[in-house]
Chains A and B, each alone.
Chain A
Amino acid sequence: MRILIDNFTKTFGTTTVIRDMTLDIESGEMLALLGPSGCGKSTTLFAVCGIHRMNGGRLLFGDRDVTTVSSQDRNVGVVFQNYALYPHMNVFENISFPLKIRKESKADIDAKVREMAKLVHIEDLMERKPAQLSGGQQQRVALARALIRKPDVLLLDEPLANLDAKLRLEMRSEIRRIQQETGITAILVTHDQVEAMSMCDRIAIMNKGQIVQLSSPSEMYNEPASAFVAGFMGNPPISFLDGTVEGSSLRLDQSSIVLPLPESSRPASPASRVKLGVRPEYFQPENPDKVEGKISFIEIQGRETLYDVTLENGAVLRSIQSSGPLHKLGDTVRWGVDHSRVLAFDESGARL
């Protein structure tokens, strides 16, 4: 089912948390709401499921305007960040709760709960109380409870935040599998960009209550619309260099370093200020446009090694290399920037 958030505004008292936000989510799509803490992701989610009333704008599920419909009548499944399982009910009772509320027959409930439990692999845990479950098991119970009554929309608020790294990987594909199997329209709230990129069809990046870019994961990574998006996508993160335009090149501040600018992104006016974004994978020893600096930090990540290189003006470039640690802290190196892949932004942070 298509979800249209149209000119949505949300205020708490006198502070406006979200202003005129518009977001169109296609039927069967899984969309990630990605953004830093406090940007309004949960607020948006709560408005979609009806827990928060909207202070302005409309919300459409398919063709139906649900702006003023109560959350009980929206048929939305929600997995809360802390799962919000009912502690006094066992797993079976938790999952069957939405059906019990609708007064479905015992036999129906039983059959549906068994089927759902199979889908999320918790058949053996039906008698347990939430307190007796691991985080991942609780998460699957919450997912089962959200899905049991075949909701039109599935909302996931940082469902993986409390899990360990391995379980997180497992659950990522699990949730994606279930979402694709059921063909449900889903919104995943997260502030983990890896999660967003690996699970979702499209990503909406939010900042301060605004959607700053809505794209597919690869486009979001390769063609960020702003320095904010570029900084948010990618791990280890992109590094930025500030400088002034000199012809077709950029002179870095307080240094003799001059880097060529990509043709597509030369600013209109000469001598304007530009911020250059260089991702770690495009700062490598074999690239042509050499820059000299001192290694100021080494992080060994197993398969890869991450270096921080401090340039003569104090700016830092990050490099990730798949070879083992060949260099020592304090070594002076001359590595190159792939100027065709650098990203240039103007002073306000907009992409050039």
Chain B
Amino acid sequence: MRRSHLLGLGFMTPAILLTLALFIIPVVLTGVFSFTNMSTSTGITGGAYEINPRSIRLMKDAGLREGLIGDLEENLYKIDAAGLAQVEKDFGKKLAEEMKGAYDGQTFKDRRELVRAIKDLKSRPRSSRDLNKAADLFQKSILNVRYDDESAFLNGLGNLGITLQDGEQAELTRFAYTGWVWTTENFSNMAAMPSTYRAAFNTVLYIAFTLTFNIVFGVFLAVATFYLPSAAASTFRTIWFLPRILPHVLYVILWKWFTWDTGFLSQVLEPFGVAPRNWMMDTEINAWVSIVLINGFVGASLGMILFSSAIKAIPSSMLYASEVDGASRLQQVRYIILPQLRWPIMFTSIYQTLSLLTSFDYIYLATDGGPGSSTTVWALYAFKTALNNYGGNLQYGFGAALALVLVGIGILASVLYLRLFDFKSMNAAPRIEQ
């Protein structure tokens, strides 16, 4: 390899590493996780075998044989060495030896059965209280006992005398396994859940409204500041740029203060007989207006900057020409300025579609997807599913599957846009003639 090649590689390395660390690895991991059922309860490392109330419920849901489930749930009584040793300590050696002789290794379905069996023995305790106590020393259950591997689990079952019919073993171990497994269920679940469609619909709504607001308001600001005297214009621009440089949390807190039931809006409207209310969360419409405005004011400032510089790039003689041609301000905007903004508007739309698709920070801070899930967009839905759930059971696998859909759409859209832009830039005439 020539030295210049090495040098080139050297210069590229940081970029390659960054892409790898910030894009490729996360995407690959998301892809991997999305085909598992990882969650808080499975953990992300391997699991153990255990029958617990949850797995019992799942088995019932799955329609396993009721007799088997009953056996698993019930307490059993088994005469074993540990129990006998305890009997010897509490009730004397005689009873212990007699029990060992008569019943060693036997299993009794319930306590009554065992008590009746003990009553048959010569050295049995007299009081029924003592009888029960002695019987309890042999109580056994598979519930909530952890076994590290499958054979130990099956052993445990055998020891308790739980008998399995043909084909039940595999199913039972599957339900008893507490670790994660490979699955495609995330995607079939996704397609079946109404909340998925709600999130998709919300996302489309969110992007459409916010983008429209961003562009229209951005163009308005750019045009308005273009016609202002330059000092006033730059003050104006700075003010509109503030939301963008404000920390997100602070910015949203301002909005919350503005809309709280004891906040600015309520206070101002109270004298006019409007009942105070939480203006942000009062209704779904309120919540939507809020998040569109919160995002919109931030997004519009980017548009404003881009469009302003595009307007400034228009040769002033062209604007003069339109004036002497008789165009009013409005006509000038419509016929001269807006056509020149076509490319920046297109670029901004594309860029913001992509970023809105994956951004949920302002929504999360402002409405947290509520009221209900009326403002939960796809990205927030994925975030909540995987990383921030009230129930406490975080479904990493399902969340990853949701995120993977976003990644897919994002990559597809980027490729599409890139082609579109390349194609145009190769064929189109210069944007601004000068």
List residues of chain A with CB under 8 Å of any chain B CB.
46, 49-51, 70-74, 76-78, 80-82, 84-88, 97-98, 100-102, 129-132, 145, 149
Contact = CB atoms under 8 A, between A and B. Distances in A.
A71 B430 contact: no
Nearest to A138: B433
Contacts of B320: 46, 51, 71, 78, 80, 84
Interface in B288-332: 315, 317-318, 320-328, 331
B327 A80 contact: no
Contact of A131 (B324, B328, B430): B430
Interface stretch (B71-79, B231-239, B334-342): B334-342
B429 A131 contact: yes
Interface string B369-400: 00000000000000000000000000000000
A78 B326 CA distance: 11
Closest 6 CB pairs of A and B: A87-B433, A84-B321, A84-B317, A98-B325, A88-B339, A101-B326
A72 B326 contact: yes
Most buried by A among B325, B342, B432: B325
A84 B324 CA distance: 12
Contacts of A86: 318, 321-322, 335-336, 339
Contacts of A97: 322, 325, 327, 335
Contacts of B321: 78, 80, 84-86, 145
Nearest to A148: B325
A97 to B, nearest CB: 5
Interface residues of B, number: 24
Contacts of B326: 72-73, 98, 101-102, 149
A264 to B, nearest CB: 46
Contacts of A102: 326
B45 interface: no
A73 B322 CA distance: 12
Interface in B382-434: 429-434
Given A74-B324, A87-B433, 8 more contacts: A78-B324, A81-B317, A82-B315, A86-B321, A98-B325, A100-B335, A101-B328, A101-B331
A73 B326 CA distance: 7
Nearest to A80: B317
Contacts of A130: 433
A101 B433 contact: no
Nearest to A73: B326
Contact of B429 (A72, A100, A129): A129
Contacts of B324: 49-51, 71-72, 74, 76-78
Most chain A Cβ neighbours within 10 Å, of B320, B328, B331, B429:
B320
Nearest to B431: A87
A266 to B, nearest CB: 51
A157 to B, nearest CB: 9
Nearest to A70: B323
B337 to A, nearest CB: 11
Contacts of A101: 325-328, 331, 335
A203 to B, nearest CB: 24
Contacts of B340: 88
A151 B323 CA distance: 14
B433 A85 contact: yes
Nearest to A145: B325
A82 B434 CA distance: 8
With most chain B CB atoms within 10 A of its CB, the pick from A70, A97, A129 is A97
A149 B326 CA distance: 10
Determine which residue in A73, A80, A129, A130 has the highest number of CB atoms from chain B within 10 A of its CB, and name it. Answer: A80
Contacts of B328: 72, 101
20 contacts: A51-B323, A72-B324, A73-B326, A77-B324, A78-B321, A81-B317, A84-B321, A86-B318, A86-B335, A86-B336, A87-B429, A97-B325, A97-B327, A100-B335, A101-B325, A101-B326, A101-B327, A129-B429, A132-B429, A145-B321
Contacts of B434: 82
A283 B420 CA distance: 69
Given A72-B326, A97-B335, A98-B326, A87 B432 contact: yes
Contacts of A50: 323-324
Contacts of A82: 315, 317, 434
Q: Max chain A CB contacts within 10 Å: which of B318, B324, B340?
A: B324
B229 to A, nearest CB: 13
B136 to A, nearest CB: 92
A311 B434 CA distance: 48
Nearest to B331: A101
B315 A84 contact: yes
B253 to A, nearest CB: 45
A72 B339 contact: no
A333 B320 CA distance: 56
Interface string B330-359: 010001100110100000000000000000
A131 B335 CA distance: 18
A129 B433 CA distance: 10
A169 B327 CA distance: 33
A170 B258 CA distance: 69
Contact of B327 (A49, A72, A131): A72
Nearest to B328: A72
Contacts of B325: 97-98, 101, 145
A77 to B, nearest CB: 7
B5 to A, nearest CB: 41
Given A82-B315, A97-B335, A87 B323 contact: no
Contacts of A87: 429-433
Nearest to A79: B321
B432 to A, nearest CB: 6
Contacts of B323: 50-51, 70-72
A261 to B, nearest CB: 49
A50 B321 CA distance: 11
Nearest to A76: B324
A130 B431 CA distance: 12
Interface in B242-257: none
A194 B34 CA distance: 80
Contacts of B429: 87, 129, 131-132
B332 to A, nearest CB: 9
A87 to B, nearest CB: 4
